[in-house]
Structure 1
Amino acid sequence: LDEVIGLQAKKVQALKQHKKGLMQQLFPAEGETTPRLRFPEFREAGAWEVKRLGEVANISMGASPKSASYNDQRIGLPLIQGNADIKDRKSSPRLFASQITRECWVGDILVGVRAPVGMVAKSEHHACIGRGISALCVKGEDRQEFLYQWLLWYEPHWVSISQGGTFDSVNKNEITNLVALFPNPSEQQKIAHCLSSLDEVIGLESHKLDTLKNLKKGLMQQLFPQEVA
């Protein structure tokens, strides 16, 4: 079983590395205006357009409610404070807040603005967002999934613009003025579909890995004697 788990772990890691390499090909490198790899139907589409995130998306910066409003009785809205409320790139709130400060909606892109800066996830909740989180929602014809995948690709670069202090952080101005390159909406959709399909495969294989680990854990509990009181 350990051998099977090891092989499955290598498969998941290989898929993640494949996606990482694919993103490096599908998004333009620094100083370039077109990617190295382009789908055949878009090879003559020309250079990508330079845009700031503030032009592309509505950006909401979180604000923490008073701690007295925190509860586990489901009063108010789920509370997303930061990385601790994210699991597997999805919102996973631990508490609720009866005082609503700023909100995010299902499908919004969540970006961590305090350590770890730049952490990217998707919201699966209509929730209250605390000061460690910002929520982005694409406006106009640009594609939400494309922006999500671009932010995943850009995630390691946030360190270069984060501020020093007790906690590294970025503010709304820095997020609003972050420059990105965007192709036309049709090419955005193609890239987004390619990468999100790969995410689905990675998710399925990761689930298989978790299942195998749980199987071994349960089997060990059956194969070894329980502690005698």
Structure 2
Amino acid sequence: MFIDNASSDWTEGILSDIADITMGQSPSSSSYNEDRNGIIFFQGRAEFGFRFPTVRLYTTEPKRMACTNDTLMSVRAPVGDLNVAHTDCCIGRGLAAIHSKDNHQAFVLYTMFSLKKQLDVFNGEGTVFGSINRISLNKMPLLIPSSEKLDEFEALVSPIDAAIRNNYDEICYLKQLRDSLLPKLMSGELDVSNIDF
């Protein structure tokens, strides 16, 4: 819709024209915990999944925050890996949060996917550790369609993104159910021998 069918009247711009970028800052490591105490914390891409990061750590001293549905991008090698914030969370120095300025968050996410080749330039060669800073990220060039075209895109893609989110939530619930029931079944605490299938 935007790559192969670009219109000549679309504006040439940069990423900061359509999005606000928050570079992560790591809290004190003494504030980290796995006990659900404080705010969900993602240090970098290690927690990234298919679409949403896996919650592992929390922090009681959040520094920089990402909002629900913000695009999360790895800013250290490998630069450019993407996920979506499932909920408000704290982000560490390995991540940036990219938030739409005009409520076209799906366009921002898929624009970031389309910038993968440009972002690959920031991955180091040989022994150089790849990274990207806020200035370079803000200046990433892109074409900006009209507001009407962006609204059309959001109307088309948002239900798909919502379905992905709902499926993810159901998968998480089923995993939690499995993890609570399986040990009880294996130990014999739950007896299912009399259930007629």
Q: Secondary structure at the match of 2:21?
A: strand
Q: Which residue of 1 aligns with 2:114?
A: 153
Q: Which residue of 2 aligns with 1:120?
A: 82
Normalising to structure 1: TM-score of the pair?
Answer: 0.64
Q: Which amino acid in structure 2 is aligned with residue 79 of structure 1?
A: F
Q: Which amino acid in structure 2 is aligned with residue 91 of structure 1?
A: P
Percent of aligned positions with the same letter in both sequences? 28
TM-superposition CA deviations, 1:84-110 (whole Å, max 9, x none): 222111132211011211111111111
C-alpha separation in 1, matches of 2:31 and 2:143 = 41
The 1:191–1:102 alpha-carbon spacing in structure 2 relative to 1, beyond 3 Å, is: same
My pick for the range that moved more, 85-94 or 61-70, is 85-94
- Cα RMSD, aligned residues only: 2.9
The 1:76–1:198 alpha-carbon spacing in structure 2 relative to 1, beyond 3 Å, is: closer
Q: Which residue of 2 aligns with 1:101?
A: 63
TM-superposition CA deviations, 1:2-21 (whole Å, max 9, x none): xxxxxxxxxxxxxxxxxxxx
The 1:46–1:119 alpha-carbon spacing in structure 2 relative to 1, beyond 3 Å, is: same
Q: Is the 8 A contact 1:149 1:192 kept in 2?
A: no
Q: Secondary structure at the match of 2:137?
A: helix
TM-superposition CA deviations, 1:110-132 (whole Å, max 9, x none): 11101221112211121110011
The 1:97–1:175 alpha-carbon spacing in structure 2 relative to 1, beyond 3 Å, is: same
Shift of 1:199: 6.0
Could you list the runs of 5+ residues in structure 2 that have no partner in the other structure?
172-197
Shift of 1:162: 3.9
Shift of 1:145: 0.9
The 1:198–1:142 alpha-carbon spacing in structure 2 relative to 1, beyond 3 Å, is: closer
Residue from 26, 51, 63 that aligns with 1:89 = 51
The 1:203–1:69 alpha-carbon spacing in structure 2 relative to 1, beyond 3 Å, is: closer
Q: Is the 8 A contact 1:52 1:180 kept in 2?
A: yes
Q: Which residue of 1 aligns with 2:2?
A: 27
C-alpha separation in 2, matches of 1:162 and 1:50 = 25
C-alpha separation in 2, matches of 1:157 and 1:46 = 22
Q: Secondary structure at the match of 1:90?
A: coil
Q: Secondary structure at the match of 2:115?
A: helix
Q: Where do 4+ consecutive residues of structure 1 move more than 2 Å?
A: 26-29, 161-167, 189-208
Q: Which structure's residues are more often helix, by fraction? A: 1
Q: Is the 8 A contact 2:77 2:123 kept in 1?
A: no
Could you list the runs of 5+ residues in structure 1 that have no partner in the other structure?
1-25, 36-44, 209-229
C-alpha separation in 2, matches of 1:74 and 1:83 = 20
C-alpha separation in 2, matches of 1:72 and 1:53 = 35
Where do residues 68-87 of structure 1 align in structure 2 (5 Å cutoff)? 68-87=30-49
Shift of 1:53: 1.2
Normalising to structure 2: TM-score of the pair?
Answer: 0.73
Q: Is the 8 A contact 2:53 2:84 kept in 1?
A: yes
Q: Secondary structure at the match of 2:116?
A: helix
Q: Secondary structure at the match of 1:65?
A: coil
Q: Which residue of 1 aligns with 2:27?
A: 65
The 1:80–1:186 alpha-carbon spacing in structure 2 relative to 1, beyond 3 Å, is: same
